[in-house]
Amino acid sequence: MSKGNEPTAYREMTAVDLFGKRIRVLDLTREIGPDLPVYPGHMKTNFWWHMTHRESKLRIGEESRFQGYGVKGIVMCDHISTHVDAVYHFNADRPDLTVESIALETLITPAVWIDLSFVRPRTNITLENVKGAMARAGVDRLERGSSLLYYTGAGDRWGDPEAFVTQYPGLDSEASYWILDRGVVNVLTDAPSTDNPADLSYHNHTAHGERLVIHTEIVSNINKIPKHTGFYLLVAPLKLKGCTGSPARILALWEE
Ligand SMILES: [Zn+2]
C-alpha cells in the first residue's frame, strides 16, 4: 500500500557495528512452525489467524485510513525447535530453576564448538570421542563459565522429520560429567536431544540435573561457525513463567 522504507532483508550471517568493532553474527536458530519436526510425544505446533486484517478492519470501520491489524494464535510445546532445557526439566526437586530464572551470565558466554559427526547415530558419545574432537579442533581446554557446542550431523536431517528425531548419538555419563566438571554452563547440540535415543538411561539429562546446568537442543549452523574458539554466544529463551524450557534465539558473535 504505502511506500515505506523497505526494511533490511534477513540474512542468516551478517555483520554489525557493536561497541566500535565490526562484529560477525551467525544465526543458530531453527524456525518454529506447524510442519516442522516435533520430538516424539511432545505437543505439536499450530498457528492460526486469531484475527485477520480484514476482521479487525470490520471493527475499525472503512472511514479510518488504517488497514487493520493481523494477530495469530499459537500453541506449541515449551521444548519446540531450537530451545533451552531449564534445570527443572531434569531435576524435579528444583522448581526454582525454571526457564525464566536463568542468569544472563549463563546466556551470554564465550564458546567453543567441536565436531562429533563421526559418532554413529543411536550410540553413545564417549569421553575419548569428546577429547579426540577437541584435539582436532585445536581446543585444549574448556573454560569455566563458557559454553560448549557439539555438532553431530543430525541437523542435516531436519528436512526429514522421522530421521531427524531418531538418528543421532548422545553423550554418555563419563563424557557428560567430565564436560560439566570443567565448569561449562551450557552444552548445545544440533540433535533433538543430548541423549542417545536408543539408550533410556538419559545419561546427559541425569548429569545436568545433578550439576544444575542447562543444555540446549536443535541448534542450527554449528558447523558454519568459521572458527572453533574465540567467539561468543547470545542465547535468548523467552521468560515463560514456570516452564521447563523455552524456544530460544541463539546468535554466534565474533570480531571480524
Ligand atoms: Zn528439551
Q: What is the pLDDT of residues 93-114, one digit of tens each?
A: 999 999 999 999 999 999 999 9
Report the separation in Å between the CA atom of 256 and the middle of ligand 1, taken as the mean of its atom positions: 33
Contacts (Cβ under 8 Å, ≥6 apart) of 157: 163, 164, 167
Report the separation in Å between the CA atom of 79 and the middle of ligand 1, taken as the mean of its atom positions: 5
Q: Are residues 125 and 235 in the same domain?
A: yes
Residues of the chain with pLDDT under 50: none
Report the separation in Å between the CA atom of 85 and the middle of ligand 1, taken as the mean of its atom positions: 5
DSSP helix, strand, coil percent of the chain (3-state; round to 5): 25, 25, 50
Domain assignment of residue 233, given as a range = 83-255
Residue 4: predicted pLDDT: 81
Q: Are residues 158 and 64 in the same domain?
A: no
Global pTM exceeds 0.85: yes
Residue 2: predicted pLDDT: 57
Q: Are residues 71 and 125 in the same domain?
A: no
Domain count along the chain: 2
Q: Are residues 58 and 96 in the same domain?
A: no
Beta-strand pair 71-75/46-51: antiparallel
Interval 200-231: pLDDT, tens:
999 999 999 999 999 999 999 999 999 999 99
Residue 170 lies in a domain: yes
Report the separation in Å between the CA atom of 212 and the middle of ligand 1, taken as the mean of its atom positions: 15
Q: Are residues 185 and 234 in the same domain?
A: yes
Site of grid cell 512452525:
33
Residue 30 lies in a domain: no
Residue 12 lies in a domain: no
Q: Are residues 248 and 186 in the same domain?
A: yes
Residue 1: predicted pLDDT: 55
Report the separation in Å between the CA atom of 82 and the middle of ligand 1, taken as the mean of its atom positions: 9
Residue 8 lies in a domain: no
Report the separation in Å between the CA atom of 102 and the middle of ligand 1, taken as the mean of its atom positions: 15
Report the separation in Å between the CA atom of 77 and the middle of ligand 1, taken as the mean of its atom positions: 10
Report the separation in Å between the CA atom of 246 and the middle of ligand 1, taken as the mean of its atom positions: 8
Q: Are residues 134 and 205 in the same domain?
A: yes
Contacts (Cβ under 8 Å, ≥6 apart) of 37: 158, 161, 164, 165, 192
Specify the CATH number for the domain of residue 183. 3.50.30.50
Mean pLDDT of the chain: 97
